[in-house]
């Protein structure tokens, strides 16, 4: 089973683009942190891990509309690793991404959109995306 659940903060505003096929995709990094006590020194230590998140279709549109750098979100999805050859250097590049199919916004949503309707506030429940068809993927 390939299942990931992450709660963290956006490292930067979502980057959204529309593919030639008309499908919308969105990418952004989220940071997750853990704090623990060092056994030897007794000091509290924290570690932050960065995750590359990819959203598709309606979920990507919601992220573009409502998410900003620093926002706290809960993501459910799966891990996907891929590689490609860098056109400039000719070297192989590798990336591990979280392909999200559910997202929950934690905390308040900024109401700077004319279309915002409190009855439809997206932070109240998970927003789910339909499964990605393999032929829709650009790689």
CATH code of domain 4-129: 2.40.50.140
What per-residue confidence (pLDDT) applies to 81? 94
Quick check: 46 and 30 in contact, CB under 8 A?
no
Residue 128 pLDDT grade (very low, low, confident, very high; cuts 50, 70, 90): low
- Single pTM value for the model: 0.73
Mean pLDDT to the nearest integer, 7-17: 96
Residues 6+ apart with CB under 8 A from 104: 73, 74, 123, 125, 126, 127
What per-residue confidence (pLDDT) applies to 138? 52
What per-residue confidence (pLDDT) applies to 110? 53
Residue 118 pLDDT grade (very low, low, confident, very high; cuts 50, 70, 90): very low
Instruction: Identify which has the larger pLDDT, 138 or 57.
Output: 57
């Amino acid at each position: 089973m390939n299942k990931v659940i992450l709660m963290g903060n956006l490292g930067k505003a979502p980057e959204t683009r529309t593919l030639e096929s008309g499908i919308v995709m969105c990418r952004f990094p989220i940071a997750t942190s853990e704090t623990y006590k060092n056994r030897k020194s007794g000091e509290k230590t924290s570690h932050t891990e960065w995750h590359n998140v990819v959203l598709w279709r309606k979920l990507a549109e919601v992220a573009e509309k409502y998410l900003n750098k620093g926002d706290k979100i809960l993501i459910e999805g799966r891990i996907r690793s891929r590689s490609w050859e860098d056109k400039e250097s000719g070297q192989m590049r590798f990336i591990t991404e979280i392909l999200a199919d559910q997202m929950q916004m934690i905390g308040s949503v900024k109401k700077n959109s004319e279309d915002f309707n409190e009855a439809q506030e997206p932070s109240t429940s998970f927003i789910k995306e339909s499964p990605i068809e393999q032929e829709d993927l650009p790689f």
